[in-house]
Amino acid sequence: MAHKVAVLGTGKIGEALLSGMIRGGWAPADLLVTARRPERAEELRTRHGVAAVSNAEAAKTADTLILTVKPQDMDSLLRELAAHLPADRLVISGAAGIPTAFFEDRLAAGTPVVRVMTNTPALVDEAMSVISAGSHATEAHLAHAEEIFNGVGKTLRVPESQQDAATALSGSGPAYFYFLVEAMTDAGILLGLPRDKAHDLIVQAAIGAAVMLRDSGEHPVKLRENVTSPAGTTINAIRELEKHGVRAALIAALEAARDRSRELASGT
């Protein structure tokens, strides 16, 4: 058997992964996809030169299966796969919030499962994919999952007990920044700037700040102090942010996201 990887339920995230793998040097001949609709299968075939097969065929042929259906579709997908999937195949779940035990309970005893929570910047190769091992996954399985997800950004291993926290920080993370950009663009309009110019200014400030955070090696406090001169403009803005409890609001917001992730994982 070739070292085939199959992406099952190739939607937005599945296709981003597939194209990241191909750009990273995987041969399309070693990749399989499955889709629910024939026209989607055809689209994937034409766009990426990969074979589109049934879920059962993927389970029989591939040695690694990446499941990227929506969480609510996972149970029925596993029912389709269970009868065809030998216990030595690696199952990687990209579905938010579903614990590895969910898969282990429904697949052959001993099946290695790796859980990955990625985020939408996977679509532009800037994902953070948070990876945890199920009870039967080895170091080699984790390394294989990292190799796949490194094609669309960075990866970080955490114990599964930290997945809900990671979901709150990085799964939902991009949304907080979009929310900030939206609010700051409104502020720009209040200050008399046209919307498109306000948007460009804020987006470039966000990109500049993100690159400084990533590449300078400096603590965020130090980077902020560098922009905060005595009696200057920035400290006036910071005073307002503190007065309105923005720091406490962010802590509470991420705690709420973590709690919701826990609820979803327990099926509530």
Ligand X SMILES: NC(=O)c1ccc[n+]([C@@H]2O[C@H](COP(=O)([O-])OP(=O)(O)OC[C@H]3O[C@@H](n4cnc5c(N)ncnc54)[C@H](OP(=O)(O)O)[C@@H]3O)[C@@H](O)[C@H]2O)c1
Contact 155, 17 (CB under 8 A): no
The encoded tokens of residue 47 equal 């766009």
**Which residue has the closest beta carbon to ligand X?**
11
3, 23, 70, 222: which one contacts ligand X (CB under 6 A)?
A: 70
Q: 65 or 142: whose CB is closer to ligand X?
A: 65
The encoded tokens of residue 147 equal 């190799």
Residue 35 within binding range of ligand X, rule CB under 6 A: yes
Q: 8 or 107: whose CB is closer to ligand X?
A: 8
Q: What is the DSSP string of 159-181?
A: -GGGHHHHIIIIISHHHHHHHHH
Residue 95 within binding range of ligand X, rule CB under 6 A: yes
20, 99, 112, 171: which one contacts ligand X (CB under 6 A)?
A: 171
C-alpha 88/C-alpha 67 separation (Å) is 16
Q: 62 or 198: whose CB is closer to ligand X?
A: 62
Residue 55 within binding range of ligand X, rule CB under 6 A: yes
C-alpha 268/C-alpha 4 separation (Å) is 36
Residue 64 within binding range of ligand X, rule CB under 6 A: no
71, 101, 125, 203: which one contacts ligand X (CB under 6 A)?
A: 71
User: Which part of the chain contacts ligand X (CB under 6 A), choosing from 6-14, 44-52, 99-107, 140-148?
Assistant: 6-14
Cβ neighbors of 129 (< 8 A, separation 6 or more) are 116, 117, 118, 119, 122, 149, 152, 153, 154, 155, 156
Residue 21 within binding range of ligand X, rule CB under 6 A: no
Residue 129 within binding range of ligand X, rule CB under 6 A: no
Contact 90, 38 (CB under 8 A): no
Q: 149 or 198: whose CB is closer to ligand X?
A: 149
Residue 44 within binding range of ligand X, rule CB under 6 A: no
Residue 94 within binding range of ligand X, rule CB under 6 A: yes
C-alpha 206/C-alpha 78 separation (Å) is 41
* Pairing between β-strand 127-133 and β-strand 113-117 as defined by DSSP bridges: antiparallel
Interface residues with ligand X (CB under 6 A)?
A: 8-9, 11-14, 34-37, 40, 55, 68-71, 73, 77, 94-96, 118-120, 171
